[in-house]
């Protein structure tokens, strides 16, 4: 009986090999897993941006009293937590704080974009801001800031944000003709001159969506609760699956 079984097994093996069919091995737990080297794209990217503002009045105060228009702890928090962020820089801010700009640019964590020169608005009646009256004045303000950003950070801005977020169709067309994409934020925190941290937090979290651009400021006298808000929303958004990215 054993001889017959062995003979049948041999015949079956010969038949499979002679017809080009190899035996199919049994699957095992050690099956090879093919790994990819590409970095997965975050499913919920979100962009944390800050306006680095400076107008003529602020500049004069700095020259007269040494007043600082940002909270250093905002930058320290971002650096320590390794949170990528994008700064929309007013040219006058950069020239007032060149060492800060160089320090921030020393890491690849941050990007720097164009926020015009001195907070002069591109349209009339934008809050209390002064107004750029001619097309050439606007072009010069953008170009001057671009040169300053390049000087202190080594980066070339590709985005533009209007002072006061005030604009119109003509100004949009002008900025695009200069090669910039316009980014005035989609998730507006409302932190300027606002001492109600809870209200700011609610505004940010209620408008947070995948690929949203959060618009904040870097603290100081004009945005006193920015750091408090930042320390709350960063872990909260991360816990909800968002991943911070540079623009």
> How many Å separate Cα 216 from the centre of its chain?
11
> Which of 28-32, 66-70, 168-172, 188-192 is least confident?
28-32
User: How high is the pLDDT of residue 97?
Assistant: 98
Which domain range does residue 86 map to? 47-245
Q: Does 105 fall in a domain?
A: yes
Q: Does 193 fall in a domain?
A: yes
pLDDT digits (tens, 9 = 90+) for 84-106: 999 999 999 999 999 999 999 99
Q: Does 67 fall in a domain?
A: yes
Q: Does 17 fall in a domain?
A: no
pLDDT digits (tens, 9 = 90+) for 26-67: 333 333 333 444 555 558 999 999 999 999 999 999 999 999
User: Per-residue pLDDT for 6 more than 90?
Assistant: no
User: How high is the pLDDT of residue 43?
Assistant: 80
For residue 83, give the 3-state DSSP assignment: coil
Q: Does 179 fall in a domain?
A: yes
Q: What is the pTM of this model?
A: 0.82
Q: Does 234 fall in a domain?
A: yes
Domain count, the chain: 1
Q: Does 206 fall in a domain?
A: yes
Domain at 192, CATH number: 3.20.20.370
């Amino acid at each position: 009986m054993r001889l017959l079984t062995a003979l049948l097994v041999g015949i079956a093996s010969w038949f499979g090999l002679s017809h080009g069919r190899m035996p199919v091995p049994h699957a095992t737990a050690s099956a090879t897993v093919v790994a990819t080297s590409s970095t997965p794209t975050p499913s919920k990217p979100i962009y944390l941006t800050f306006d680095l503002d400076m107008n003529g009045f602020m500049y004069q105060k700095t020259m007269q009293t040494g007043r600082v228009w940002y909270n250093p702890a905002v930058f320290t928090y971002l650096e320590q937590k390794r949170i990528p962020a994008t700064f929309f820089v007013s040219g006058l801010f950069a020239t007032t704080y060149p060492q800060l700009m160089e320090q921030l640019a020393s890491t690849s964590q941050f990007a720097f974009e164009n926020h015009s020169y001195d907070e002069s608005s591109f349209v009339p009646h934008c809050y209390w801001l002064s107004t750029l009256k001619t097309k050439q004045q606007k072009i010069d303000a953008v170009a001057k800031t671009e040169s300053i950003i390049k000087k202190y950070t080594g980066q070339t801005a590709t985005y533009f944000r209007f002072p006061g977020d005030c604009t119109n169709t003509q100004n949009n067309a002008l900025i695009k003709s200069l090669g910039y994409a316009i980014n005035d934020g989609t998730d507006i925190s409302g932190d300027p001159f606002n001492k109600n941290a809870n209200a700011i937090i609610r505004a940010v979290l209620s408008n947070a969506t995948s690929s949203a651009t959060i618009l904040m400021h870097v603290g100081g006298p004009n945005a006193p609760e920015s750091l408090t808000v930042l320390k709350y929303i960063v872990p909260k958004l991360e816990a909800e699956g968002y991943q911070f990215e540079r623009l």
